[in-house]
Structure formats: structure tokens, C-alpha cells
């Protein structure tokens, strides 16, 4: 069955560049970003892992752990890190899962059941769907799923923006409009009456009967 938002993120054990992990235990009580890439030593993936490494402190500020995964073995990840540093200037210090038996890729619906049982002989094209992002909350539920095509590198600032929105809207009865960024006005949800909105937010603007905007809550 395909994974959907609000499903429990499947738990698993795996070898990583920082030793074996049990995924739910590794997440702990915070947030997590699981992001996959089709194959090591490929150009787009090299830039992506470097970009994520450059933003590691920003994810940490949000209480979000980062973990990468591909169907390559852990030993390959370790060798590839030098190329990533050369190309992007950033050291990859977050763990990388070695999923050489395709177990996690199938568990997260990134590869079909008939994809085989080994990464040997697989090309990046064989792993085309393995360029995905899963944001997982402290409750171990999936909050966001993104899957990109082979030729399109991800925008990791957008993933940070999404985390900001998800964390804010989990705490307050608000939603975020298109192109929203931290600190900008938010939308009051339909579950909040006008009277309650005044109590909660102090004031708001009615753009349409069903679209009310207010300042971003800070508490």
C-alpha cells in the first residue's frame, strides 16, 4: 500500500555511515528528514548532498535530524563524501543509510516490489523514483512527501520552509498561504470563529468570507 501523509513512517533497522540504527529510535522525540538519492557518484545527487550539508545547522535549529539514503552500500557512501566536499565545499556529517538490498526503498514505496533484491548492476535510471523527501514528526507520522524526477535537483530551502509551516500550523489553528515564508501573515483556519480569532490573534483581515489573514503567532 502506498504511503500517505499522516501514516506512521515505517520503522526499520539499517547500516549507516555512523553505525547501525533503528529508525524510530534514531528519530527520538524530535523531527526527521529522510531524503533519498538514486545513486552515488552522480552529478545531481552530489550537489544535493552538499546542499543539505550546508544547511545542516538550519535543520538542527528546527529540531530536525537529517538522514540520507540510497541503494548503494555504506562503503560507497564513505568514499563519495570526498567528491561531495570537492564539488560543494561542505562535509557530509549527517548519516547515510546503505540500502543495498533495497529494503527501505521498497518499504517507503520508492521502488516497486519487483525491483529485485540487490543494488548490484542497477543504474540511476533503474532507481528513478529514489529521489524523495519525507518529513516525519515527533509522533512518527509522515507530514510531507516529495518526489522529484532524475534531472531536477531539490531546493532544500523549500524543505526548510515546509518544516517552518508544518511546525507552526501544528501549534496554532492557522495555515500558510502560497509562497509563505517565516514571519509573514498566515491564514486563520475555518475551525476558528471570528470571535475566537479576536481572542487568539488580536485582529485579522477578512479578504473573503472564507479567507482571513493575521500576523504570524509568535508564542
- CATH number for 13-154 (one of 3.90.1150.10, 3.40.30.10, 3.40.50.1980, 3.40.50.300): it is 3.40.30.10
In the chain, where does the domain assigned CATH 3.30.1020.10 lie?
172-214
Name the residues annotated as catalytic: 45
CA 99 – CA 215 distance, rounded (Å)? 44
**172-214 has which fold?**
Antioxidant, Horf6; Chain A, domain 2 (3.30.1020)
- Interval 163-197: pLDDT, tens: 999 999 999 999 999 999 999 999 999 999 999 99
The whole-number pLDDT of residue 197 equals 96
* pTM value > 0.85: yes
- Interval 13-30: pLDDT, tens: 999 999 999 999 999 999
In the chain, where does the domain assigned CATH 3.40.30.10 lie?
13-154
> Strands, E, within the chain: which ranges?
13-16, 21-22, 31-36, 64-70, 96-98, 132-136, 142-147, 174-175, 186-188, 205-208, 211-214
The whole-number pLDDT of residue 181 equals 97
Collapsing DSSP to helix, strand or coil, 35 comes out as strand
For the cut 60, the answer to whether the pLDDT of residue 1 exceeds it is no
Amino acid at each position: 500500500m502506498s504511503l500517505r501523509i499522516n501514516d506512521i513512517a515505517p520503522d526499520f533497522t539499517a547500516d549507516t555511515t555512523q553505525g547501525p540504527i533503528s529508525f524510530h529510535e534514531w528519530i527520538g522525540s524530535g523531527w526527521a528528514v529522510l531524503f533519498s538519492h538514486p545513486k552515488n557518484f552522480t552529478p545531481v545527487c552530489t550537489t544535493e548532498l552538499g546542499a543539505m550539508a550546508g544547511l545542516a545547522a538550519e535543520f538542527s535549529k528546527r529540531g530536525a535530524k537529517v538522514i540520507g539514503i540510497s541503494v548503494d552500500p555504506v562503503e560507497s557512501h564513505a568514499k563519495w563524501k570526498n567528491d561531495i566536499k570537492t564539488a560543494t565545499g561542505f562535509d557530509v556529517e549527517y548519516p547515510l543509510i546503505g540500502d543495498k538490498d533495497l529494503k527501505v526503498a521498497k518499504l517507503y514505496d520508492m521502488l516497486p516490489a519487483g525491483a529485485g533484491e540487490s543494488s548490484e548492476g542497477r543504474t540511476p535510471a533503474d532507481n528513478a523514483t529514489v529521489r524523495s523527501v519525507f518529513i516525519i514528526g515527533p509522533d512518527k507520522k509522515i507530514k510531507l512527501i516529495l518526489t522529484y524526477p532524475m534531472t531536477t535537483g531539490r531546493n532544500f530551502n523549500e524543505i526548510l520552509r515546509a518544516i517552518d509551516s508544518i511546525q507552526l500550523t501544528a501549534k496554532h489553528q492557522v495555515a500558510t498561504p502560497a509562497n509563505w515564508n517565516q514571519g509573514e501573515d498566515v491564514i486563520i483556519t475555518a475551525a476558528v470563529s471570528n470571535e475566537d480569532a479576536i481572542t487568539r490573534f488580536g485582529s485579522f483581515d477578512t479578504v473573503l468570507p472564507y479567507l482571513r489573514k493575521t500576523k504570524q503567532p509568535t508564542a
